[in-house]
Chain A
């Protein structure tokens, strides 16, 4: 393991240890993902706005009801309200979903949440598919690099010892007690592995399951996912999970020390707790 001691500040009371934690591959792919997921999310909401209802099965029910979520607008006494229906429950979401903006526009997701801001399905698709290719290519590069340089095996795949440490790790996180080590803790491993090995591949699979061309090539794929419309619903739910991950990711960075965390994903160097035993590597 590469490590170096630096004298921190004039007091020099406690020398701090920086370790090289994130390789250039990890840092570059991380930031390309961040950018692509941003554009994929906002262009995806533009595409969703073209038909803001989600269904279960292979087709959309117009003469029968198999919808699980719909975002629309309804006439009230003197105005129009945004109405969101999810799993049989109805919510008034005026201002955010269904009806939004100064001119009370009828649109599922508001203008500030879509690319482009105005209604343009064609351009939303152009942006979405460009960044879908970027995401897939980056995932491929990351996978090859991660296998070759040991990042996957060393840092991401949870070991038995990790699973044994899970209850304590969970308790530490709840107490906002963070350990700064070269290795990821169990929850980090589970979160990152879950995103990279489960959620992003699921996103790609459900995206492909919506493509008529890909359906002809792999008819088993939409079938496996419960039909084309179920795949579209899963695609949407996976988006919500990714947004949820992003929020927690940001909170954790703030809680664990934003400067140290940002330095490691920008420069690769991470300050570890001095008293932490140097394991592995």
Chain B
């Protein structure tokens, strides 16, 4: 009985710590949750680390997300977030049908790349019918076509010390007093090398529309929608999030969303 007893005690103290913090906080009973530096919040956030570790333990690196049939595509892919970037540089590229657009791949790589859309289209592609799960709770099924990210990473010859793939985007998602923020996000090397992780340029058999991220977006099918940035400009291989945004690995992560969104 030793083990259950210990785990019960650990549970009691964790729940107690969380509970007492919540009770102490006064007028807005849950005000202590506000701000990512709160002690209560960071205690609770450790459950996300547990989720990450358990999923990485149980879920094989190549285990596929469910794929669907053509008949399951019953509607257009609902866009979310920025659907029409107002940024001038993006508008100029769009006006030229992205002929001048390049995907830069840099950071911890032996061979930095600058790929045109034609070069990406000439690479081997993968087409998959998958379900997009938004963090808000809705889901839609669509067919995605693109280059497996692993092929691009191999071409760039990723250095062994790289731990994360960071996606830098062309869309400004927030204009506020604290500044202008362009969307960015990151995933680990396991998700990056997953067979269904593609740099998508096609949606439902047509070129990727602007509202869904033209000219190129990421699909990471074992993750929620906010882990799949649109309007890609640059891919950076790194071993740390320091110096990127507020240091949490993504635009939404900087604003309190969990970095590992596999649930």
A107 CB, nearest partner CB in chain B, Å:
14
CB <8 Å contact, A217 and B63: yes
* Distance of A216 Cα from B30 Cα, bound (Å): 35
Question: B residues within 8 A CB of A133?
Answer: 47, 50-51
* Distance of A212 Cα from B138 Cα, bound (Å): 12
Verify if B44 is at the interface (C-beta below 8 Å from A). yes
Residue of A nearest to B252 (CB): A122
Verify if A51 is at the interface (C-beta below 8 Å from B). yes
Q: Of A53-61, A81-89, A90-98, A168-176, which stretch is located at the interface?
A: A53-61
Contact of A115 among B30, B59, B65, B258 (CB under 8 A): B30
Verify if A246 is at the interface (C-beta below 8 Å from B). no
A interface: dominant SS: helix
A113 CB, nearest partner CB in chain B, Å:
12
Interface string of A130-158 (1 = CB under 8 A from B): 10111001100100110010000000000
CB <8 Å contact, A35 and B19: yes
**What class of interface size applies to chain B in its complex with A?**
35 or more
CB <8 Å contact, A116 and B65: no
* Distance of A115 Cα from B8 Cα, bound (Å): 25
Q: State the interface size on chain A (CB cutoff 8 A).
A: 53
Verify if B242 is at the interface (C-beta below 8 Å from A). no
Verify if B58 is at the interface (C-beta below 8 Å from A). yes
CB <8 Å contact, B8 and A28: yes
Residue of A nearest to B34 (CB): A116
Q: A51-B136, A126-B256, A134-B11 are in contact. Are A216 and B65 (CB under 8 A)?
A: yes
CB <8 Å contact, A228 and B263: no
Sample 6 A-B pairs with CB under 8 A, ordered by A number: A28-B12, A64-B74, A117-B28, A130-B44, A212-B221, A212-B262
- Counting from the closest, the 9 A-B pairs by CB-CB distance are A213-B262, A122-B256, A63-B75, A60-B138, A211-B263, A51-B137, A130-B47, A51-B136, A50-B136
